[in-house]
Structure 1
Amino acid sequence: MEMKNHAGNQQDNMKESSNSSSELEKKEAAALYAKIVFGIIAYASCSSMMLIINKLAVTFLPAPSVVLFCQLLTSAVAIKLMHEGGLVESDPLIAEKVKPFMLVAIAFLGALYTNVKTLQYANVETFIVFRSSTPILIAFLDYVFLGRQLPNMRSWLSLMAILMGAIAYVFTDSNFEVKAYTWVMAWFVVFAFDQVYIKFAVDNVKLTPWGRSYYTNLLAVVPVFLLGVVTREHEILTDFEWSTASIFALSASCVAGVLMSYSQFLLRGLISATSFTVVGTMCKIGTVIINCMIWDKHASMEGLIALFICIFSGLFYQQSPLRNPIPTHTRN
């Protein structure tokens, strides 16, 4: 009788333990979901505005390297001051973490520089649609380098629809510029490397989102300064006449840069490289709406239709799971 009672107690304990573990997993899943939703909203908001703000910044101050230098330096200093004031949790510079993030900084800087150079010569829709064609490439790179499964049929159709929308736009772009498309293609190559390597570094170097942002911005300050010297863009400032518009545009880009940097590193740590790329494409719908309201250099109606098809196709994308899933108890 005692043995039966003992066995019964063990079964009850096992059930309670199982229920407790299940509840814990549900709470962790709910917390992760809420964090991802917050990350997407924060990144989408910043990304939608950042493209327009950068376009205005390089229009009123036609020196992309100078604009980037101001953005990066402002972000690094702002994060350091907020950390010292106890407002955010950042990380101190540590040699073994600086090394992998040096390449992150270079990739990040390369993507930013080719981004603003593209915006200097092309309309915003041109850039957005070429960006919309990147998820299909990142999906393959995700599989080859980051251990993700290939997308399912629904996701492939979504990615192909994005690509078809991009191709349709190219044929309707009434503002075709060879120089602009040359910069877009340069950005395309750099962006692909940026998405994959930064995701690799985020997953393998333990830093807070603010820490990742601090490392990247601080380590990119010197390279972008040297880039400005080599391209002689700093000479533009010699005869440049500052106006209220140019000061406001540059200041706005610096503030937006801090928020954009944090939100993107937060989200990169939560979802796959392909999902991050798709989210970045989807949130550009806000950019299109804003651009159509305030800018006179935008695409034709046919081009905008192709653009909207391209962007909305991303709604049907589903994130591919890891080929070797990380056990729940080992996740951060």
Structure 2
Amino acid sequence: MYCCTKYESSYPAAMGSALAACGEYVSKGSLVLMYALCSASMLIVNKWALLHFPVPAMVTLLQCGSTALIVVLVRATGLLKVEPVSWSVVRSFLSVPVLFALALYTSSQLLHYADAGLQILIRTTTPVVVCIADHLIMGYELPSARSAAALFGLLGGAAFYFRIETHITPAAVFWGALYFISISVEMVWVKSVINRVPMSTWIRVLITNAVTALFLTPFCLLQPERGKLVERLRGTVPPTLVGAAAVTTSCIAGFALSFFGFKLRESVSATTFTFVGVVCKFATVLVNQMIWVHHGSSVGAAVLCTSILLSTMYVAPKKVESAYADTSEKPSLTDPARGRLQQIEAADVDDDDAHDENSMLVVRSIVAEPVRGAAGKGAHGAASAADGGPNGDERRASDCCRCEPSR
């Protein structure tokens, strides 16, 4: 009888693990690229839309409403298989659209009272708060000395920018502070909810944008939003094709950003997601300086680029090992096979290597269980289970070939 060697039996599993890791890398790389393109262009598109339609709450409402409508229409046509939405699911995910709405509204108000550079700089300082929250809430390690230097460099760049940009108004400072608080809380809390509440990406996009649209509706009726909206509706300020194109483009960009944003959040930590958003602002700064008249000074742009470069030096800390990582708490190979199967089912392991390893533990438990039972029960069945019996040698040889070829 041929007995495969240990290396021959593990080679297919190792090859499958390498292919799976390669696929995961390509998938995450594609998500990072798509999210970076959407995030870098969204700020410019929003500024373009607000120049022709200066009603921030209404622009945000149109973006969220159109995104939710796209998901509903695609689902109704049967092109997209989406699980049904119940009130319990919406309630468990309700905090996400509320924070999302606050972040969007404060961002649009900040763009209305300041240039895009100020919003970019505020976004670059959010990793300072996110990394601390990751440590306290998500269980990540504290930043290293290099990472701490990068974070303090961001704070220094922010202080220097406020010093040289003297045209910043009190309204811009007010909305900038609100935007900083809302976006920092949103980054960490949304990741924690995604980890705790399982659902598809399309449902997250639908619930978030639909609830956000409802949440932003009252803001469209407040002053000065209402006065600007009434002027457009009455025809006092005639609409233009360029304005309609700008708003439509912002809606399309908002849909893409929402989808790829949730997909990326599912794959990476809150700190990594924040830094991806920060680094992709390079293109935003360059485009903002090239095509807009409404931008800061060249010195301010240099400070922005320096701050973003410092942010790329930050190395995200690893997650602290859980208490289960201690080998003394891991189940031994002598545990019952039934408990091992229940453990695998409860863990719902997706990784092929981990699944193969757990399966090997189950088989070994099944093989070892009769031996333990024979040793403890006495004479009846002990001989056939351990050494004696008509089929004992054949069974052990078969088990050796299937499970432990190295013996």
TM-score (structure 1 length as normaliser): 0.90
SS at match of 2:264: helix
* Residues 1:235 and 1:302: Cα distance change in structure 2 (over 3 Å): closer
Preserved CA contact (<8 Å) 1:210 1:262: yes
Highest RCO, 1 vs 2 (Cα 8 Å, sep ≥ 6): 1
Question: Counterpart amino acid of 1:252?
Answer: T
Give runs of aligned pairs for residues 4-83 of structure 1, distance below 5 A. Answer: 9=3, 12=5, 14-83=6-75
| Counterpart for residue 246 of structure 1 | 243
| Residue of structure 1 in register with 2:170 after alignment | 178
Aligned residue number for residue 97 of structure 1: 89
Q: 1:158 to 1:30 in 2, by over 3 A?
A: farther
**Please, which of 111, 123, 128 is the counterpart of residue 115 of structure 2?**
123
Task: Give distance in 2, aligned partners of 1:259 and 1:300.
Answer: 31
Q: Are residues 90 and 52 of structure 1, via their aligned partners in 2, closer, same or farther at CA, if it must alter by over 3 Å?
A: farther
Residue 263 (structure 1) aligns with: 260
Cα separation, 2, equivalents of 1:200 and 1:138? 12
Partner amino acid for 2:275? V
Quick one: distance in 2 between partners of 1:55 and 1:255?
15
Q: Which residue is equivalent to 2:383? A: none
SS of match in other structure, 1:278: helix
Residue 88 of structure 1 deviates from its aligned partner by 4.4
Q: CA deviation at 1:103?
A: 0.8
Superposed displacement of residue 34, structure 1? 1.2
Q: CA deviation at 1:231?
A: 4.6
Q: Deviations over 1:168-219 (max 9, x none)?
A: 2222214221110110001111111111111111122222222211111112
Which whole-Å deviations, capped at 9, do the CAs of 1:114-170 have from their partners, x for residues lacking one? 000000000111111111111011000011111222233333333333333222222
TM-score by length of 2: 0.74
Alpha-carbon contact 1:90-1:214 (below 8 Å) kept: no
Q: Paired residues, what number?
A: 324
State the alpha-carbon separation in 2 of the partners of residues 199 and 71 from structure 1. 22
Distance in 2 separating the partners of 1:285 and 1:45: 11
* Cα deviation, residue 269, structure 1: 0.9
Structure 1 unaligned blocks of 5 or more: none
> For 1:296, which of 275, 293, 296 is the aligned residue?
293
Is 1:221 the counterpart of 2:213? The answer is yes
Amino acid at match of 1:107: L
Shift in alpha-carbon separation, 1:235–1:179, aligned structure 2, 3 A: closer
2:311 corresponds to 1:314: yes
Letter paired with 1:135: P
* Distance in 1 of aligned mates of 2:268 and 2:62: 29
Tell me the amino acid that sits aligned with residue 182 of structure 2: V
Structure having the higher Rg: 2
Calculate the aligned-residue CA RMSD, in Å. 2.3
**Contact 1:82/1:88 (CA < 8 Å) preserved in 2?**
yes
State the AA in 1 paired with 2:38.
C
Cα offset for 1:232?
A: 6.4
The Cα shift of 1:95 comes to: 2.5
SS at match of 1:296: coil
- Which consecutive residues of structure 2, in runs of 5 or more, have no partner in the other structure? 326-346, 352-407
1:39, CA displacement in angstroms?
1.1
Instruction: Tell me, in whole angstroms, the C-alpha distance in 2 between the residues paired with 1:232 and 1:309.
Output: 36
1:24 Cα deviation (Å)? 2.8
